[in-house]
Structure 1
Amino acid sequence: MTSWRDSLNIWGPAWAAIRDVEDPAAEQILAWPVGAGAIAAGSAMHLVTEDAAAAREFAAAARLTETGAAVLLCAPTDDLDLVPHMPPETNLAEVPLENYDAVEVALFDRPVAGGRVKVADGLAVLGALHVDPEGAGMEAELESVMIASLGEEAFLHGADVLYLVAASAQAARLAAVEGWTQVAEVLSFKK
């Protein structure tokens, strides 16, 4: 399996696509410590790193303001259960869109969760996985359904590796699931 560093030029733009970033010049996604460059005023920089303290020191010296932190997870599709196990009274809708595919989970016909996947060159990036307040208490089950559906779509389109950028609480839940590994942190900054 290729490392996150070696495939950043593929998964980085896919991650931007699922976040609906229309102007690639509006942000930079860089591996730290390699390749950190100048950042234009008003643009965003995401430093993907295994050494968050050093990346934050670099950002402070460059007078960048931290705007967020997330965790990069990775899983081979062969290591995941890609069969959605639906909780009672839920339905799953899969929607192919122009820049990515999306899923929505409904409980009693009301949307309670959703997510996206972008497949590119043998890998896929999952993102925008969210569970609305109506799904509170079912986060792990709903995330599992979305990951299975999106992961199966990715697998069917030739992806053998999945990446997911997740908030820390979601990353902790997924790291407890067999197959997922936390591989880096994603620190976001603005000038």
Structure 2
Amino acid sequence: MPSESTALPRWVYDFALLRDRTVNREESNQLHSIAGDGSDYEVACRWPAASHLAALLGDPDLTSHRGTSRITFLGAPDAAVATELVAKGWQETESQVLLAAMAGDVEQLVSLPETSTLFEAPMDDYDVVEVTDFDAPAGRGRIRFSDTFALLADPSILVDSHVEVFRTAIVANLAAAAARQGLPLLFMVTDADPTTGTHAKRAPGWSNATRLTTFTRA
């Protein structure tokens, strides 16, 4: 069933910027954004009542985009709405979950192999952490600081060796950066089991918070 409150939490806006998206319309219950290369248009919102789905799908900004259209719903899926979306040509393409943790409960210091180095760099909308191994890129992470929380990007690991070490080190560095900013609450969006909508293999301190389900139509 749809959530009683349709208002979006602030991290939805930050999640768009963390993915290099341009926010072109922000309302209390919807966030519209375009991919950096213009390839897709996304609407983020909570699951609507079935009676409100037609209005969402008929949004002129969504229908006028010539590339791929995406709708990302927050919260527990509504089976009736999902069925109607599929009947109208939309496909479920992504299942994610927002993880939450207190910065003090997350490991903030991890040793890297002697051949590895970690770099930090501030960008316009977020800060970047990169790990190299033998001077070649091995993994990257991002973090965006808000007033009361920090939103982390799920690290991207580019090599086949030391995968968990690099991933843990990146998250630890980002958590430490949030703690230095005085932000006690951490969020991170990561892949979820499409059946349960949860991420089972979580590091200590993290818990499942909000489910995200994305439907796409070319």
Normalization by structure 2: what TM-score? Answer: 0.72
What is the distance in 2 between the residues matched to 1:12 and 1:182? 16
Paired residue for 2:118, among 83, 92, 110? 92
Where in structure 1 are there 5+ consecutive unaligned residues? none
Q: Deviations over 1:85-106 (max 9, x none)?
A: 2233210000110100011001
Q: 1:67 to 1:111 in 2, by over 3 A?
A: same
> Would you say 1:32 and 2:44 are equivalent positions?
no
> Would you say 1:122 and 2:148 are equivalent positions?
yes
Aligned runs of 1:31-50 on 2, under 5 Å?
Answer: 31-32=46-47, 38-39=56-57, 40-41=62-63, 42=65, 43-49=69-75
Q: Which amino acid aligns with 1:73?
A: L
What is the distance in 2 between the residues matched to 1:147 and 1:29? 25
1:137, distance to aligned residue in structure 2 (A):
4.2
Contact 1:71–1:166, Cα closer than 8 Å, also in 2:
yes
> Would you say 1:180 and 2:206 are equivalent positions?
yes
Contact 1:116–1:127, Cα closer than 8 Å, also in 2:
yes
Q: Aligned Cα RMSD in Å? A: 2.7
Contact 2:16–2:23, Cα closer than 8 Å, also in 1:
no
2:162 corresponding residue in structure 1? 138
What is the distance in 1 between the residues matched to 2:84 and 2:9? 26
Q: 1:57 to 1:89 in 2, by over 3 A?
A: farther
Going by fraction, where is helix more abundant, 1 or 2? 1
2:12 corresponding residue in structure 1? 12
- Tell which has more relative contact order, 1 or 2 (C-alpha 8 A, sep 6+): 1
Aligned length in residues: 180
Aligned runs of 1:164-175 on 2, under 5 Å?
Answer: 164-168=188-192, 171-173=199-201, 175=202
What is the distance in 1 between the residues matched to 2:192 and 2:11? 20
Contact 1:19–1:128, Cα closer than 8 Å, also in 2:
no
Structure 2 SS opposite 1:82: coil
Q: Which has the larger radius of gyration?
A: 2
> Would you say 1:58 and 2:81 are equivalent positions?
yes
Structure 2 SS opposite 1:38: helix
1:163 corresponding residue in structure 2? 187
What is the distance in 1 between the residues matched to 2:7 and 2:106? 20
Q: Which amino acid aligns with 2:107?
A: D
Where in structure 2 are there 5+ consecutive unaligned residues? 25-31, 34-41, 194-198
> Would you say 1:71 and 2:97 are equivalent positions?
yes
What is the distance in 2 between the residues matched to 1:154 and 1:130? 19
Report which stretch shifted further, 61-70 or 35-44.
Answer: 35-44
**Runs ≥4 residues deviating over 6 A:** 34-37
Q: Deviations over 1:22-73 (max 9, x none)?
A: 1343322223368976142254221122x23x2x531331433222111221
